[in-house]
Amino acid sequence: MKSIKRKYHFFRSYHADPPWDTNVSPPELINFLTYRLPGRALDIGCGTGTNLICLAEHGWQAEGIDYIREAVRKARRKLQDKKLVLSVYYGDFLTSTRLQGYYDLILDIGCYHSLPDEDKRSYEKKITNLLARQGYLLMHGYLKSDSPRRGITQKDIELLSTRFRMDFAERGTGLHERPSIWMLFRRE
């Protein structure tokens, strides 16, 4: 039930103007891409594809997945306009069978933090199966605060750190001054 409400929230957002959909890739991603050799990348919860374009422009062979049809439609159109041929899958990352092989980079901006706990555990397992050795997981999300809203907890960070080596974590604030975090993990 909670998952349906969550999906409905995203569904409604994409039929208006979601506040996160800025058409600008964050400097943390650009900085990461500037200093790494390109490879195969997956953008989980890719939204309308802004970061897929950024990955492709930095030479990455990128794929995206999102479970809101409208977001996928907009992403495909944006890629077409840029004459970029990339796969954007419509589906739930947690259950999709479309994702095959290993990725050198998995990007998650704003998906993991909104998952309920049990889905976070499935997500971590799935990432472990999809990330190449020495591959990176670059993640940005809101931290759980006192409000009833979801977010990344200290326990989540510890669980991710038992699976992957944490290369850096940088705390900041996002929309409406909500505490947020950028994290880079590496699979050993």
Which residues of this protein are in contact with ligand SAM, per CB under 6 A? 10, 20-21, 45-47, 50-51, 65-68, 71, 92-94, 109-111
C-beta of 26 vs 134, nearer to ligand SAM = 26
Q: At its nearest, how many Å lie between ligand SAM and the CB of residue 16?
A: 13
C-beta of 66 vs 156, nearer to ligand SAM = 66
Longest dimension (CA), the chain: 45
**Quick one: which of 151, 76, 141, 149 has its CA closest to 107?**
141
Number of H helices, E strands in the chain: 6, 7
C-beta of 29 vs 104, nearer to ligand SAM = 29
C-beta of 121 vs 165, nearer to ligand SAM = 121
Q: At its nearest, how many Å lie between ligand SAM and the CB of residue 103?
A: 15
Task: For the beta carbon of residue 87, count every other beta carbon within 10 angstroms.
Answer: 15
Dihedral (Cα; 5, 8, 12, 18), 10-degree rounding = 70
Q: What is the DSSP code (8-state) at residue 16?
A: S
Q: At its nearest, how many Å lie between ligand SAM and the CB of residue 43?
A: 7
C-beta of 22 vs 134, nearer to ligand SAM = 22
Q: At its nearest, how many Å lie between ligand SAM and the CB of residue 188?
A: 26
C-beta of 66 vs 104, nearer to ligand SAM = 66
Q: At its nearest, how many Å lie between ligand SAM and the CB of residue 158?
A: 22
**Quick one: which of 153, 127, 122, 154 has its CA closest to 138?**
127
**Quick one: which of 97, 146, 93 has its CA closest to 122?**
93
Cβ-closest position to ligand SAM: 45
Q: At its nearest, how many Å lie between ligand SAM and the CB of residue 92?
A: 4
DSSP string covering 127-166: HHHHEEEEEEEEEEEEBP-SSSS--B-HHHHHHHHHHSEE
